[in-house]
């Protein structure tokens, strides 16, 4: 692991400790929580994550647990809530990067002809003009495409490298919610990784459970369900 990753790993270790302590405190107070520490990964089939959380009317669970249109991925970690929040979702295949990545990786369309990738490139150019330390936007964008291609090819080989090994951010995996019927709902983080996993046919990837619906009887463990 590179030297720069150690501070990130330490920071994320502290985050994991905090959310687990909050979960244990809620458990001692008799509040409804999931049955394992929320910093612990659960392995799932990424193709089963078919929905994206998107609140139009945030549930009355307390403002501290809400982050705009989703649950706060740290403060709500490990909680169990009732109500209709699990029905405030949109299909994940509408995620903007899905069509762009499908065209690029499945259809072989050059990135210059893909609208979303063109927008990303123009955003990199604007950032480079504002900050000379950003470097060449062409090189930065090329590095990003190589990074995505490397991840996609690893996923095709059923190889998943956790973020702790790549970046030091040990808790920066896909954060999901679980609906009343066991639906897997993306809450936050790892959107591009989930897109690439689905397109590449990856069978298992780690996730961190944020919120579970009170009507869901799914039993969670480190091996998945």
Task: Dump pLDDT digits (tens) for 102-151.
Answer: 999 999 999 999 999 998 888 877 776 666 555 676 777 888 889 999 99
- Confirm if 48 and 184 have CB atoms less than 8 A apart: yes
Q: What percent of the chain has pLDDT over 90?
A: 67
Greatest Cα pair distance, the chain, in angstroms, is: 55
C-alpha distance from residue 121 to each of 112, 115, 125, 154 (Å): 9, 10, 6, 24
Q: Who wins on pLDDT, 158 or 219?
A: 158
Per-residue pLDDT for 215 more than 90? yes
pTM above 0.85, yes or no: yes
Q: What is the mean pLDDT of residues 180-197?
A: 96
Answer yes or no: is pLDDT of 222 > 50. Answer: no
Which DSSP string do the residues of 41-84 spell out, in sequence order? -EEE-GGGEEEEE--SS--SS-GGGEETTEE-TTTTTTEEE-SS
d(CA 107, CA 104): 6
Express each pLDDT in 27-71 by its tens digit. Answer: 999 999 999 999 999 999 999 999 999 999 999 998 999 999 999
11 vs 65: CA distance, rounded Å: 21
Query: What percent of the chain stands above pLDDT 70?
Result: 89
pLDDT of residue 10: 81
Tell me which residue of 75, 80, 52, 50 sits closest to 64, measured CA to CA: 75
Alpha-carbon distances of 192 from 27, 73, 96, 143, rounded to whole Å: 33, 17, 10, 15
Q: Residues 54, 55, 56, 58: what is their CA dihedral angle, to the nearest 10 degrees?
A: -170
The answer, yes or no, to whether residue 218 has pLDDT greater than 70, is no
* Rounded mean pLDDT, 10-36: 92
How far is it, in rounded angstroms, from Cα 182 to Cα 121?
38
């Amino acid at each position: 692991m590179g030297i720069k990753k150690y501070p990130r790993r330490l920071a994320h270790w502290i985050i994991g400790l905090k959310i687990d302590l909050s979960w244990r405190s809620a458990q001692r107070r008799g509040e409804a929580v999931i049955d394992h520490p929320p910093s612990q990964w659960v392995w799932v089939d990424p193709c089963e994550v078919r929905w994206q959380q998107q609140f139009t009317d945030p549930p009355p669970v307390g403002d501290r647990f809400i982050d705009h249109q989703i649950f706060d991925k740290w403060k709500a970690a490990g909680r169990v809530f009732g109500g209709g929040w699990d029905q405030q979702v949109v299909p994940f295949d509408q995620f903007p990067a899905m069509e762009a990545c499908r065209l690029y990786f499945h259809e072989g369309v050059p990135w210059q002809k893909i609208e979303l990738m063109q927008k990303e490139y123009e955003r990199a150019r604007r950032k480079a003009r504002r900050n000379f330390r950003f470097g060449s936007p062409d090189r930065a964008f090329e590095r990003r495409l190589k990074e995505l291609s490397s991840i996609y090819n690893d996923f095709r080989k059923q190889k998943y490298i956790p973020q702790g090994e790549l970046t030091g951010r040990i808790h920066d995996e896909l954060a999901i919610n679980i609906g009343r019927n066991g639906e897997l709902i993306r809450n936050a983080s790892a959107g591009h990784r989930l897109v690439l996993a689905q397109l590449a046919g990856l069978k298992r990837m780690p996730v961190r459970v944020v919120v579970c619906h009170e009507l869901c009887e799914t039993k969670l463990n480190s091996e998945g369900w």
